[in-house]
Amino acid sequence: VAVQASGCAPMVRAYEAGVEHATRWEDAHTIASGIRVPQAVGDFLILRAVRESKGFAIAVDDDKISSALSEVAREEGLLLCPEGAATYAAYKQSLADGRVTKNDRVMLFNCATGLKYPLPPVTRTLDRHQPIDFGQF
């Protein structure tokens, strides 16, 4: 499965159009800079691999990427990069669309660390002189 951000999805557009080469994506923008690739050199190879493997191409919105990043951090304690979070957002969208099922074996790649991006500001702190109220988390 090829995953791209909806603000820069030339491979998805080419896959859906059934063409062999992707045209350049103008005004490419996404929070996931590692997948902000307006024109891939090996576009035909990517498209061929997706089609021959009976896969598909999918684009996800930046708000879904952000939500996926937060969900994985909160639920699993992992700090994904936005590119990795895009794969989780695509997985969730594909489950909802019926493209994959809970019985399918799926592997998501997180290609970097979330530490290379600015972290949100700290809004809560613990008082080291007080017992920890774990219910607040």
Low-confidence ranges of the chain (pLDDT < 50): none
Q: What is the DSSP string of 19-86?
A: -SSPPP-TT---S-GGG--SS-TTHHHHHHHHHHTT--EEEE-HHHHHHHHHHHHHHH-----HHHHH
pTM: 0.85
Fold of 2-136: Rossmann fold (3.40.50)
Q: What is the pLDDT of residue 122?
A: 82
Q: What is the pLDDT of residue 103?
A: 97
